[in-house]
Amino acid sequence: MVNSSIAFLAAAMASGATAFTTSIVNLPSTLPSSSTAIHAAASSRRDLFTRTGSAVATTLLTFTATSSPAFAASTPPTPEELERIKTGYENIAYLLANWDQETTVCRENGGECKRNADKVRQYLGLRSTLDPLFQIEKVFAKVRFMEDIDPDKLEAFFDATEDWNSAMTMTNSMAFISQFGEYNPGGGVDQVLKFLNESKEQVILAEKALKIILDAVTSTSPA
């Protein structure tokens, strides 16, 4: 489909270019002296160019539509994508079990230690494309195409995805504010800890939602 679209696009562009070139080559060798005639000839060439451009633009839009992932056949998540959910859940559980350790950064050689929320955003897939939960919502969107999922768990799954999105948004905000809480007006170490603790509350909600999601995608429809 993509190759045929590219071929069609090339043909349209080539056809337009040929038509436009031919119109120039076939211009009379002696141009009319009348300004009206000159204007008419120029307008004719502009109309031809406009029509050709429109044809090419239409072809481009058709090519983009047919080759875009949004128009591709919908497929269920791959085993690798489902594994990302499992790994992400395990990572979040580890973060909560080791919260103080994971959110504390110390300088080398016994230097000063400070609380830092950067790890929170990392565990939730908000820091790198390599994180298991990076844009995991795209995987969630594929779950409805799974044929063997337990239908009785779909409603809980969709509710959990909404809870996940909400918790993710709030976690990201609280963790980000915490990172700069010491430098904001009226801020300080207390502000860093305040927003860090608030981000933890959201991470707990995120873990709960992800557990429901994981349970749904690993379940199978009753025989």
pLDDT in tens, 83-135: 999 999 999 999 999 999 999 999 877 778 999 999 999 999 999 999 999 99
Residue 221: is its pLDDT beyond 90?
A: no
**Per-residue pLDDT at 184:** 67
How far, CA to CA in Å, does 137 sit from each of 71, 141, 142, 169? Answer: 18, 6, 9, 12
pLDDT in tens, 32-41: 444 444 444 4
**Per-residue pLDDT at 219:** 87
Tokens of 69: 């992932």
pTM, two decimals, is 0.65
**3-state secondary structure string, the chain?**
CHHHHHHHHHHHHHHHHHHHHHHHHCCCCCCCCCHHHHHHHHHHHHHHHHHHHHHHHHHHHHHHHHHCHHHCCCCCCCHHHHHHHHHHHHHHHHHHHCHHHHCEEECCCCCCEEECCHHHHHHCCCCCCCCCCCCCHHHHHHHHHCCCCCHHHHHHHHHHHHHHHHHHHHHHHHHHHHHCCCCCCCCCHHHHHHHHHHHHHHHHHHHHHHHHHHHHHCCCCCC
Residue 201: is its pLDDT beyond 80?
A: yes
**Per-residue pLDDT at 182:** 73
Residue 81: is its pLDDT beyond 90?
A: yes
Average pLDDT, the chain: 76
Q: Residue 205: pLDDT band by 50, 70, 90 thresholds?
A: very high
